[in-house]
Amino acid sequence: MHSRFYNEALFEVRLRPRTPLLIKAGGEGAAAMDPTVPDMSFVRLRRPDGDETVYVPGSSLRGVLRGHAERLVRSVRLQEACDPLAHGEGETGYGLKRACRFKDDVPGDAAYRRACYACRLFGATGLASRLRVGDLYPEGPVLRDTRYGVAIDRVTGAVAHGPFELEIVTEASFAGALVLRNFTLGQFGLLAAALLDVADGLVPLGYGKSRGLGRVDLEVTRLTVRTLQDPQAALVGVGALCDERTRQAFSLPAAERERLDVGAAAERERGFFVLEAAGPEARRWLEAAAPRWVEEIS
Ligand SMILES: [Zn+2]
């Protein structure tokens, strides 16, 4: 199924810190070498013009979305989101399914059928992900500040470690995009539910969550959904776009359960049908799709 195109959703997002944000750069190399660099500095990359810029790696946002989506799924069906750290056979102590892992010789359809609901969306060893999350880059100025932290020894009450410096971003607007391909409506809905919870500041990002850091605002500035068949004013899942054999092989939902009417007319673009929504309208589509994952796993 991955080798063919059925549908694709592009979520253009803008992320702003509500409380100070720190996405830590890996290692302590720079701080150890250069005393002017904070102990915990924000992750940076060098731009083509030679300047360095802080940014939010797509892997950070993806990790937060996956973790939250897994919690949502487990609250409805424990077995549908595996424990990625538990290898081997049988259930874990908490009744979770052990990590989905597939050898190279397992065909794609068999791996997909055997994977838990979370891995079908986010991927696992031997199973491709349907979701790609790009890096988010700052638009306009970035306000940074330094905080000082200490770790307290719980027994003696004395400073166990520190003070150490934290480089935080207090004001910025980071823009980026997520692409979801060949999705069922339930998968679109689960991603929508996770995005909406991040958007509402319920899911923090980065370092220091227990200190209140990392609450963010996330806005889906534009949502673009492309299909090869006319969606007729609806969001359409892959179960309604593929042939019967593929539907059986991947045990996808029946066609009649793969439509969500959004009342928008599709534009034609390079052979594709394109549905587009911006700002509040995009949010309305996400809200409407969000409950679909519950129906799909029940
Ligand atoms: Zn899994």
pLDDT in tens, 88-142: 776 677 778 888 999 999 999 999 999 999 999 999 999 999 999 999 999 999 9
Compute the distance from residue 292 Cα to the ligand 1 centre, in Å: 19
Instruction: Report, as ranges of residue numbers, the positions in the chain whose pLDDT lies below 70.
Output: 2, 27-36, 90-91
Q: What is the pLDDT of residue 156?
A: 84
Q: How far is the CA of 61 from the centre of ligand 1 (A)?
A: 19
Cα 121 to middle of ligand 1, angstroms = 9
Residue 43, pLDDT score: 93
Q: How many CA atoms lie within 13 A of 225 on its CB side?
A: 28
Structural domain includes residue 148: no
**Alpha carbon of 115 to ligand 1 centroid (Å):** 5
- Å from CA of 102 to ligand 1 middle: 10
How high is the pLDDT of residue 31?
Answer: 56
Whether 206 maps to a domain, the answer reads yes
Tokens linked to 190? 């689960």
Between the CA of 225 and the centroid of ligand 1 the distance, in Å, is 26
Spatial distance between the Cα atoms of 51 and 32, rounded to a whole number of angstroms: 22
User: In degrees rounded to 5, what are phi and psi of residue 3?
Assistant: -80, -5
Half-sphere exposure for 262 (CA within 13 Å, toward CB) = 27
Q: Is residue 161 part of a domain?
A: no
The two beta strands, 259-261 and 174-181, are unpaired
**Centre of ligand 1 from the C-alpha of residue 112, in Å:** 10
Residue 94 domain-assigned (yes or no): yes
Q: Is residue 166 assigned to a domain? A: no
Ligand 1 center–CA 240 separation, angstroms: 24
Ligand 1 centroid to Cα of residue 100, in Å, is 4
227 alpha carbon to ligand 1 midpoint, in Å? 28
3 state SS of 125 = strand
Q: Give the pLDDT of residue 84.
A: 80
Residue 145 covered by a domain: no
Is residue 152 in a domain? no
Domains in the chain: how many in total?
Answer: 1
Structure confidence at residue 85 (pLDDT)? 80
Domain extent for 123: 7-37+60-140+174-297
Domain assignment of residue 155, yes or no: no
Instruction: Find the 119 Cα to ligand 1 centroid distance in Å.
Output: 4
**Distance between Cα 5 and ligand 1 center (Å):** 24
Name the pTM for this structure.
Answer: 0.91
- Cα–chain center distance at 80: 17
